[in-house]
Each structure stands twice: as C-alpha cells, then as structure tokens.
Amino acid sequence: MPQIRLIGADNQQIGIVPTAQGLRMAEQEGYDLVEVAPDADPPVCKLLDYGKYRYEISKKEKDSKKKQHVIVVKEIRFRPRTEEHDFDFKVRHARKFLEQRNKVKFTVLFRGREMAYKEFGEALLEKVVTTLSDIAKIEGEKKFEGRILTMTMILK
C-alpha cells in the first residue's frame, strides 16, 4: 500500500499521504498509526494512542454487557399424579424464576400406563396457568413429544 488516507488525532482529515510519511508523522507526535478502514481505496489510517483505544473499546463492551439480561430457561418437572403440596412448592419456585425474568418450561413426564390418562397432565398444566396467570403468560402452545407434555411461560 503505497498511499493512505490519514486522519489526525483530533479527527481532522490530513489527506492522502505516502505510508512512510504517515508512519513518520505518528512517531513524531507520539501516536500509533492504526488502519481503521482497510477496504477503502486508499486505506484509511488514523493517528491515535492504541493502548487508550483498546481500553475504551473494552470499556464500551463491558457497559453493553451490563445492560443486557440473559434469559435463562428454567425447567419445572411434574408427574401426572403430583400431589397438592408438591404442586404448590414447584409453582412457588416457578413464580420466583419468572420474577427474575427467566422463562419457565413446565414438563409433565408420563411413564408406562400413565399415557392412557393424558388428561391428568393437561389438567395439571391448566392449573399452573391459572395459578400463575397474574404474572405470566403462555409462550407458544402445549406440545406432546413422545411421553413428555411441555409448556413454556414468560413474564407478562
């Protein structure tokens, strides 16, 4: 690359100069010559303190990571004949997960002859929906996958 488009440390465009002259200018002013747009014709280079530049980029990345919330899918498992106390205990945990802005996947596992009573599993999930309807809503629909009935809920 015989020539580059040079931008100064104060973001003012210096112009198109030979690469060697750009390197000399950077050295004289105590900056680094950093290529910011290699695909341009001629390539765009900038005079800047590379260590400070890397620090600012990492700082911006940290700030953006702080602002985002990772949605986790928590799973609550039931059996078709889950007793009342166990049901209440699990729904209480589901409520806590939903308040933490996580998705909750409810799973009803069927074994053996329990498959003949699929309505017990569906009734159990309906009970979950009515219990949590004040803070959550169903995402998608209930699905039967083999011997497993699933439903996902999210915060309203």
Q: In this structure, is the dihedral angle defined by the CA atoms of residues 80, 83, 88 and 89, taken in order, positive or negative?
A: negative
Q: Is the same domain home to 40 and 85?
A: no
Q: What local confidence, expressed as pLDDT, does residue 67 receive?
A: 79
Q: Could you tell me if 80 and 107 lie in one domain? A: yes
- On whether both 111 and 145 belong to a single domain, the answer is yes
Report strand pairing: 44-48 vs 32-37.
antiparallel
pLDDT of 1 reads 56
Q: Domain check: are 134 and 92 in the same one?
A: yes
Low pLDDT (below 70) residues in the chain: 1
Residue 98 near residue 76, CB atoms below 8 Å: no
Give 143's strand partners.
150
Co-location of 12 and 55 in the same domain? yes
The reply to whether 77 and 140 lie within a common domain is yes
**3-state SS class at 132:** helix
What pLDDT does 119 receive?
92
Structure tokens at 35: 């290529």
Q: Which residues contact 42 (CB under 8 A, 6 or more apart)?
A: 1, 3, 4, 5, 16
Instruction: Check whether residue 57 and residue 91 sit in a common domain.
Output: no
- Phi/psi of residue 95, each to 5°? -60, -45
Total-model pTM: 0.59
The range of the structural domain enclosing residue 112 comes to: 73-155
Question: What would the pLDDT profile of 41-81 be if each residue is shown by its tens digit?
Answer: 899 999 999 899 899 999 999 988 887 777 889 999 999 99
The domain that contains 136 carries what CATH number?
Answer: 3.30.110.10
Q: Structure tokens of 134?
A: 């004040």
- Into how many domains does the chain fold? 2
Residues 81 and 116 in one domain: yes
Residue 87 tokens, joined: 């049901």
Do 60 and 80 belong together in one domain?
no
